[in-house]
Copies of this chain bind each other. A is one copy, B any other.
Amino acid sequence: MNAHAQFRIDVKRLLTLAGQLFLNAGADAPVAESVARVLVEGELLGHRTHGVNLVGRYLDQLQQGQALGRSSEFEVLREGGVAGLFDGHYVLGPYCVERALAFASAAARQHGVGVGTVRRSAHIGCLAAYLKPLTDQGLLALVLSSDPSAALVSAAGGCTPVLTPNPIAAGIPGREAPILLDVSMSSVTLGLVNQYRLAGRKLPHPVLVSGTGQVSDDPGVMQEDPRGAILPLGGVAFGHKGFALGLLVEALTGALAGHGRKDRPEQWGAGVTVLVLDPDHFAGIEAFIEEMAVIADAVLASRPLDPKRPVRLPGQAGLGLRRAALEEGVALAPEVHADLARRARDAGLEAL
């Protein structure tokens, strides 16, 4: 028997418990369901730093008033036929993003494209966790985010932190499975840097720059004065590309949403923009899927650099983990399991 087998939990049961914990902490049903669904989905896809481990953090934020749990706090500032502007007022992020996606996907179904932008969302978890419900409907969806309260990533050729990692996530409908991508426009994320820092280790690649301009693999440069930065995707030689894309994400999120660095927010909060396209308003979903299948086949037939590591599509590994978890239950990390169990007990809920 596997040592971790005791922590394998039925997915429905986990969803129910997570939802109950948020209800118990004062969230209303739409928010609780949204948060539970997105955090569990992140866990299923193998994003264990952006999965059920966030349940406790989000509950703490609710209790401390850093995040709100009432869907009525989410404000529709402007809703046209295909363009929506929302103020999340720091409502728990998954609810904010799912509201924007609901708007944009309805718009896309009706008109071909829809865009929703949210200012002041609380933390939104794993971006890839939002995509499959859309690709399952034959929609192409993008989710972009930035955080105007933080500066971690340098400009190309600079060593001052000016941007956040600014991920671009996208779900692309496919024949057997969608392509799910979720990549930051920085070389690495702060989460990864912190993992190495806490472990007292150097990063595997020199993807940081010290505040005095030395390219570095030492997580400590992020704590020095002047503070260091994460290099944009592409590093020193090609960082103009990642930096340009990072600026594009800032433009599409904070600038479009009208709330960003100009407002000097001190509270962590995301600017999030979602873009949904319905291929049926262009050349049709059949042609779309056929084209993506031809590309996917060519990718999967690639000669691998390492014969032991066949080439895979973005999201393929995560979707495999997801299928297994739905069948066999999801294996939680011991500390995550313990935290959930304690919170369930404290709330008088049925233990896991």
Contact = CB atoms under 8 A, between A and B. Distances in A.
Interface of A: 77-78, 80-83, 85, 111-115, 117, 119, 140, 142, 151, 154-160, 162-163, 168, 170, 172, 179, 181-184, 187, 204-205, 209, 211-213, 215, 226, 233-238, 240-245, 247-248, 250-252, 254-262, 275, 277-279, 281-284, 287-295, 298-299, 301-306, 309, 311-314
A162 B298 contact: yes
Contact of A262 (B114, B291, B299, B311): B291
Nearest to A146: B295
5 contacts: A179-B251, A183-B240, A233-B242, A235-B238, A258-B287
Copies in the complex: 2
Contact of A256 (B168, B187, B282): B282
Contact of A187 (B238, B294, B295, B314): B238
B115 A172 contact: no
Nearest to A293: B262
B81 A155 contact: no
A49 to B, nearest CB: 17
Given A154-B302, A303-B159, A172 B78 contact: no
A311 B162 CA distance: 12
A146 to B, nearest CB: 10
A254 B83 contact: no
Contacts of A240: 183, 314
Contacts of A209: 305
Contacts of A233: 233-234, 238, 241-242
A213 B305 contact: yes
A262 B293 CA distance: 9
Contact of A283 (B183, B259, B302): B259
A298 B85 contact: no
A16 B289 CA distance: 44
Contacts of A140: 251-252, 256
A228 to B, nearest CB: 11
Contact of A155 (B119, B226, B299): B299
Given A160-B303, A247-B299, 6 more contacts: A111-B111, A154-B302, A158-B299, A158-B303, A250-B291, A260-B294
A288 B85 CA distance: 13
B85 A111 contact: no
A5 B250 CA distance: 41
Contact of A83 (B112, B117, B255): B112
Contact of A80 (B155, B163, B258, B281): B281
A291 B113 contact: no
B294 A262 contact: yes
B158 A281 contact: no
Contacts of A204: 237
Given A158-B304, A159-B303, A314-B247, A255 B115 contact: no
A119 B283 CA distance: 10
Contacts of A288: 251, 255-256, 258
